[in-house]
Amino acid sequence: MIRIIDSKLITDMVKDLFIKANTYLRPDILRGLKNASKGETKEKARYALSVIIKNAFIARKKMLAICQDTGMAVIYLKVGQSVVIKGDLKKAISKGVGLAYKKGYFRYSVVNDPLIRKNTNTNLPPIIYTDIVPGNKINIKVMAKGFGCENVSKTRMFRPTDPISCIESFIVDVMKEEGSTCIYRYRNRRNH
């Protein structure tokens, strides 16, 4: 059976999902942090975990961002092949993202051009992944993908004949190199 869905409904859903994604830590993650804190033997690490847990509680209660890096808006859609969308799906999603980031006072992180670094001041455009599936429903999942994790990333192309040990060595080498770089940057910031 064909189902008509108004794009305004999608806008509202995307807006609500991004506000929740940026202000609410899932219960399983919160439990994991609490368990890690209980099992932690180092005082500084235990303190850091307690601050993260407290921050998550404050963020949820006051509807504030859990993290200052509210990242790039990524949307995963499963659209039923029997769905007809009344309106423009891409515009509806973009509008929902824009409204969420404005209403939540989330930091705008997206730039138009990676070399010029001019901020869009809207956090748009979002990244949208779409999968057409049987049925007459739309499933929407969102992710606010922070940018900090990519500050020390590396990419390498491997030949199909490279053994797994070659890939593992690359990962270990990057972690050794970039892990120490992060520690060096942190120490230098503290010393200045």
Convert 41-83 into a string of H (helix), E (strand) and C (coil). CCHHHHHHHHHHHHHHHHHHHHCCCCCCCCCEEEEEEEEECCE
Which one-letter DSSP state was computed for residue 150?
A: G
Which conformational region is residue 86 in: left (phi greater than 0), alpha (psi within -120 to 50 degrees), or beta? beta
Which pLDDT band, with edges at 50, 70 and 90, does 186 fall under?
A: very low
Q: What is the pLDDT of residues 112-166, one digit of tens each?
A: 888 898 999 999 999 999 999 999 999 999 999 887 766 667 889 999 999 999 9
Q: Environment class of residue 31 by beta-carbon count within 10 Å: exposed (0-12), middle (13-18) or buried (19+)?
A: exposed
When mean pLDDT is compared across 47-61, 141-155, 176-190, the lowest value belongs to 176-190
CB 178 within 8 A of CB 152: yes
> Considering just the CA atoms, what is the radius of gyration of the chain in Å?
21
> CA–CA separation, 47 vs 45, rounded Å?
5
The pLDDT assigned to 180 comes to 55
Which pLDDT band, with edges at 50, 70 and 90, does 183 fall under?
A: very low
Element (H, E) at 139: strand 138-145
**Does residue 185 carry a pLDDT above 50?**
no
**Does residue 182 carry a pLDDT above 70?**
no
The pLDDT assigned to 52 comes to 93
The pLDDT assigned to 149 comes to 63
